[in-house]
Amino acid sequence: MDLDSAGAARRLMARLDAFAAFTDEPGKLTRLYLSPSYRAACDQFAKWAQAAGMRVRVDAVGNVRARYEGKTADAPALMIGSHIDTVRDAGRFDGNLGALAALAVVEQLAENGVRLDHAIEVVAIGDEEGVRFSAAMTGSRALAGQLSATAMQAKDGEGVTLDQALTAFGCDPARACACGAKGVAAFVELHIEQGPVLEAKGLALGVVSAINGATRMQMTVNGVAGHAGCVPMQLRRDAVAAAAEMILAIEARAKAEADLVATVGRLEVEPGAINVIPGLARFSLDVRSPGDERRRRAVGDIDAAAAAIAARRNVEMAMQPIHEAAAYVCDARIVAGFDRALTDMGLPAFHLPSGAGHDTMVMGALAPAGMLFVRCAGGISHNPAESITSEDGALALAALTRFAVDFRG
Ligand SMILES: [Zn+2]
């Protein structure tokens, strides 16, 4: 099938620029879920979808859902999309690229009068980032039929509940927990990588093998505070020196295993004075891996190493779980479909895990799901400096289109 993908890619890149004008904060891109700029972005998205002959509606949680029928009415649908909410002072590609590229896939079909055996449902998802409310992925949770009634009471910084914000937006929150998508054969998402791997490999595109699971822990080390001048080194029970050794052990454990990452991002010291041996150190631990079993084993090893360091240094160590999310292994048929699309285009079918969470991991509960990553400059995201080249944008759209056309439900 010969579609004008070059023209479609140029239009996609121009739209990504135009779409960045929908912002809550002039001079930067901040589009929080259900805000006035989110409304304006939904309206524009819906207008483009209608112009492509799609049936469009905004569902009960503010997702824009547009359907392009297949050869027969009510055919199972390939759902394609990503989120259109952003973080504060965001880049213009995170989420928006996947939503607008999904639209571009259908526009190419419509402009060439092509109907497929399956329908295509394009979705612009609200609230992936979780910036406004104390909950994330509200849009995809609703689509996957996984939204809980308690989530509706999540509040934003002004004390407005999700329930109230949806009502103000013109949605019916009573229907939010029952607006799960029906007849979806699969879900796919195109997204910027948000890491430096593709750039380092010199590749435009990569097929996501899994979305990493995560474990977060609070580590506490209790030693004995004392006078920095009077306690000899041999008699100290220094909580920070012990924590430092533990942090290096964490780094060493993560480095020893491919695709496993561990981060200590926060460290607090008490009493925190220049002339006092620290009696207490508290630090955070974030461990991620594409395999749940591998992640649990790493956390167990870190626990054992930290306990051994604590015993040797005569301090106490405690490890407390804060958060745990399972990994999502992308559906093998979706991965194979993207592999085929890349191979047909003469590109290597390179696989990589996603270190960040995505709507796809939620949508996996609804239907077979998978993702395609596109290289972004310096691996930078959640930052206005986020960028992709037009050439990579064109390759990404061509691969997504090829996947959608060749998809067999
Ligand atoms: Zn994103």
Dist. CA 35 → ligand 1 center (Å): 18
105-109 contact pairs (CB < 8 A, 24+): 105/80, 105/397, 105/400, 105/401, 105/404, 106/49, 106/52, 106/54, 106/66, 106/68, 107/8, 107/11, 107/48, 107/52, 108/3, 108/4, 108/5, 108/8, 108/401, 109/3, 109/68, 109/405
Dist. CA 58 → ligand 1 center (Å): 20
Please give the residue that has the higher pLDDT: either 286 or 324: 286
Q: What is the pTM of this model?
A: 0.90
Mean of pLDDT values over 342-350: 98
Dist. CA 347 → ligand 1 center (Å): 24
The pLDDT of residue 409 is 77
Please give the residue that has the higher pLDDT: either 160 or 5: 160
Assess whether pLDDT exceeds 70 at residue 111: yes
Assess whether pLDDT exceeds 90 at residue 323: no
Q: What band does 53 get if pLDDT is binned at 50, 70 and 90?
A: very high
d(CA 94, CA 215): 24
Dist. CA 116 → ligand 1 center (Å): 28
Give the model confidence (pLDDT) of 164-202 as tens digits: 999 999 999 999 988 899 999 999 999 999 999 999 999
The pLDDT of residue 242 is 98
The pLDDT of residue 2 is 59
Dist. CA 358 → ligand 1 center (Å): 6
Q: Residue 126: phi, psi to the nearest 5?
A: -95, 155
Dist. CA 190 → ligand 1 center (Å): 10
Dist. CA 128 → ligand 1 center (Å): 7
Dist. CA 397 → ligand 1 center (Å): 17
Mean of pLDDT values over 292-318: 98
Dist. CA 379 → ligand 1 center (Å): 13
Dist. CA 194 → ligand 1 center (Å): 8
Dist. CA 84 → ligand 1 center (Å): 8
Cis bond before residue 36 (omega within 30° of 0): no
Dist. CA 227 → ligand 1 center (Å): 49
Mean of pLDDT values over 247-256: 98
d(CA 3, CA 6): 9
Mean of pLDDT values over 68-76: 95
Dist. CA 327 → ligand 1 center (Å): 17
Dist. CA 357 → ligand 1 center (Å): 8
Mean of pLDDT values over 377-384: 95
Dist. CA 331 → ligand 1 center (Å): 19
Give the model confidence (pLDDT) of 119-159 as tens digits: 999 999 999 998 998 778 999 999 999 998 888 999 999 99
Rounded to the nearest integer, the mean pLDDT of the chain is 96
d(CA 119, CA 74): 8
Assess whether pLDDT exceeds 70 at residue 47: yes
Dist. CA 94 → ligand 1 center (Å): 5
Dist. CA 192 → ligand 1 center (Å): 8
Dist. CA 294 → ligand 1 center (Å): 25
The pLDDT of residue 1 is 60
Q: What band does 246 get if pLDDT is binned at 50, 70 and 90?
A: very high
Q: What band does 230 get if pLDDT is binned at 50, 70 and 90?
A: very high
The pLDDT of residue 327 is 96
